[in-house]
Amino acid sequence: MSTHATATGHPPAAARAGGLTVDGLTVHYGSTAAVEDLALDVAPAETVAVIGPSGCGKSTTLRAVAGLVPVSEGEVTLAGRDVTGLGPARRNIGLVPQNYAVFPHMNVAANIAYGLRARGAAADRREERVREMLELTRLTELAERRPDQLSGGQRQRVALARALAIQPDALLLDEPLAALDPQLRGGLRRELAAMLAATECATLIVTHDQREALALGSRIALLREGRLVQFDTPQRLWDDPADAFVADFLAGSVLLDAERDHGHVVALNGRWRIPVRDLAVRTTGHGTTRLLLRHDSLTVTDDSDESALVAEVTHSEFTGDAVHLTVRAGGQVLGVRVPPDARIGRSVSLAAVPGRATLLTPET
Amino acid sequence: MPLPLRAPARGRGAAAPAWLAALPALIVIGLFSAYPVAVMVANSLGLGQPPADGGPTLEHYVRAFGSATVRDALVNSLLIAGGAVLFTLVVAVPVVLRQADDDRAGRGGAAADALLTLPIALPGIIIGFFAIVLTGRTGLLGLAWDGFSGLAYTFPGLLIAYVYFCLPRVLGPLRGAAATLDPALTESARTLGASRPRVFCTVTLPLLLPAAIEAGGTAFAVALGGYGTVATLSEGVRLLPLNVANELTTGYRLAASSTLAVVLAAMAVLALVLGRVLARLVRRAVAS
């Protein structure tokens, strides 16, 4: 099982020529490894989202690429240069930290010009570049403003403009939307996606929010406990998760081991037999036969035929248009959505909604 | 019915004016810095008790500023306090930046903190004694190099002793300011291509400067009034607090002593106010 699969549809050689490549990256904090043997690549103009639960090593990965933490093993290649041993000032990287770190003692234009000044760019070139960046991030009106007069979203754009002004080989965004009001995130996410699409550099986004990852990443690297679990396009992660953790973390889905038995699929140690005709069948690149259940894959049924799964209701939650039931069957916790007016007892019979549950079968 | 009963009680509590809680502090401040200061100022202007003072006059001030010893002591006081504060700031900034890093990483021991804060608890006389032990005529450092021998009694020696005296008074407030500096600011500046010295000059220092000026003003005021250290070390260099004490102990010249004390207090207050005003101006200048 190749969970360390790199690029599907992106030949690594092409990525190596430009963009960002991380190979065998290991970072230690004291004696504990925060990141272990991580490999990923970002092509020029591509956006890769690194996602995982807190403490999975995603922020450490970003800091290692930026040169802000020492690397124990492995290498970081940027636009064909090995930058592993270089300090952050010499990597040509644009960093947008989680809290944006806009310099509070400089106005918007001076913030954007900071990297250009540090590089000793000529004044006219600097002014021109700052003007371009102000336009790109729609901050022209606010050029003279001080950071404390800006909203969170505007500060984010300043940080982005400042990072892009130096024409970096790679752009790194650490939890770009986490510091913003949840109500604003949707709009700002689309705005950010549009601005990233206009840039030419390899972009790495670190996030713990699966919606952000799915919306912004052309590929997603999922980390757990410092290791890469799966690195693929959002569609393939969604359709063919490498394991139950990926399914749960990215899509809130359940992945069950299953076996085919003539016209049926058997799961949960034989407690559940589902006719194959009720299932969508897809091939998987990740080993064994498994059943992928999403929140809309199951329904409560009155028939207690052999294809029904009897489950115990442990929790029910009203979500407005539906009631979300948490049920337990054969040691497995599942989610079921039922209409808000459904009468639910302590125990329910479950059936797969035809075509909504997916059977993943290995390629033969 | 506990609820309706509790609500009016809370309303009554809110009605009490907030300054009521500050009253004890106001009483202490009023007692100590209003009446005695008024007496001191009155003495210096010839408005004290009739047998000693004969009516309003500026004679004491004229005589004080006319005296070469007083003028020398005044200049020395300003130079020592100012120089010590400047040196202290220069050595304190790297320390507080390091402490902020350590605090964030959860490192750093109470032992180092205690050692750096120690001088604040020591009487000036003890600090003077330390200086003699190290750089007196038979001091430890004098054994290593003859140039250190007797340094304690000279202007540079006094300056070093006062740096030690000022250190905790600057480190304390400056540490708070350094702790609020977001490390992401310097990290971002680094990734933008700025060298470490450049980051220090363009990001760290401008953001730390207002707090440094304010802490410097306070430390200057405290150093100005410091008596013990110079009392222990005064051979060649005389500072103003010595003159204040001398006027009292030799001949009980209350008016002359009060006059110098008023000058000293006025300079200290000026330093404090100036520190605060400058800090605010710099904060505004740095932010624009």
Q: How far is A188 from chain B (nearest CA, A)?
A: 22
Residue B201 is encoded by which pair of tokens?
């000059």
- The proportion of chain B whose per-residue pLDDT surpasses 70, expressed as a percent, equals 92
Report the pLDDT value the prediction gives residue B153, as an integer from 0 to 100.
Answer: 86
Is the pLDDT assigned to residue A6 strictly greater than 70?
no
Contact A115 B194 (CB under 8 A): yes
Whether residues A237 and A259 fall in one domain: no
Whether residues A279 and A184 fall in one domain: no
Q: Where does a domain end: A244, A264, A283?
A: A244
A4: in domain = no
CB B224 within 8 A of CB B267: yes
| A5 pLDDT tier (thresholds 50, 70, 90) | very low
| B50 pLDDT tier (thresholds 50, 70, 90) | low
Cα A72 to Cα A82: distance, rounded to the nearest angstrom: 15
Q: Which of B192, B194, B287 sits opposite A105 (nearest CB)?
A: B287
The residue among A278 and A3 whose pLDDT is bigger is A278
CB pairs under 8 A between A and B: 74
Q: Determine how many CB atoms are found less than 10 A away from the CB of residue A333.
A: 13
Whether residues A225 and A285 fall in one domain: no
Contact B187 A97 (CB under 8 A): yes
pLDDT by residue (tens digit) across A190-218? 888 888 888 888 999 999 988 889 989 99
CB within 8 Å of chain A, chain B residues 190-209: 190-195, 198, 202-203, 206-207
CATH 3.40.640.10 fits B58-286, yes or no: no
**H runs (alpha helix) in chain A:** 12-17, 58-66, 108-118, 123-136, 152-165, 182-197, 210-216, 234-239, 244-251
How many domains are there within chain A? 2
Q: Where does a domain end: A209, A244, A279?
A: A244
Whether residues A217 and A121 fall in one domain: yes
For the ranges A310-314, B10-14, B229-233, the lowest mean pLDDT is seen at: B10-14
Residue A38 is encoded by which pair of tokens?
């991580």
CA angle B56, B59, B64 (to 5 degrees): 135
pLDDT, average across residues A287-295: 88
Report the pLDDT value the prediction gives residue A7, as an integer from 0 to 100.
Answer: 41
Q: Which of B188, B194, B206 sits opposite A97 (nearest CB)?
A: B188
CB within 8 Å of chain B, chain A residues 123-152: 146, 148
Report the pLDDT value the prediction gives residue A344, as an integer from 0 to 100.
Answer: 81
pLDDT, average across residues B28-46: 86
Q: Which of A88, A105, A162 sits opposite B190 (nearest CB)?
A: A88
Which chain B residues touch A162 with a CB distance below 8 Å? 188, 192
Is the pLDDT assigned to residue B103 strictly greater than 90?
no
| A285 pLDDT tier (thresholds 50, 70, 90) | confident
pLDDT by residue (tens digit) across B242-264? 888 888 888 778 888 888 889 88
CB A224 within 8 A of CB A52: yes
pLDDT by residue (tens digit) across B56-65? 788 888 888 8
pLDDT by residue (tens digit) across A246-270? 999 988 899 999 988 888 888 888 8
pLDDT, average across residues A141-166: 93
Is the pLDDT assigned to residue A307 strictly greater than 80?
no
Cα A58 to Cα A97: distance, rounded to the nearest angstrom: 13
Whether residues A328 and A198 fall in one domain: no
Report the pLDDT value the prediction gives residue B9, as an integer from 0 to 100.
Answer: 47
Contact B192 A68 (CB under 8 A): no
pLDDT by residue (tens digit) across A85-131? 999 999 999 999 999 999 999 999 999 999 999 999 999 999 999 99
pTM: 0.81
Contact B191 A99 (CB under 8 A): no
The domain containing residue A26 runs over which residues? 12-244
A209: in domain = yes
Q: How far is A145 from chain B (nearest CA, A)?
A: 9
Q: How far is B208 from chain A (nearest CA, A)?
A: 11
Contact B198 A118 (CB under 8 A): yes
pLDDT, average across residues B264-271: 90
Whether residues A169 and A43 fall in one domain: yes
ipTM of the predicted structure? 0.83
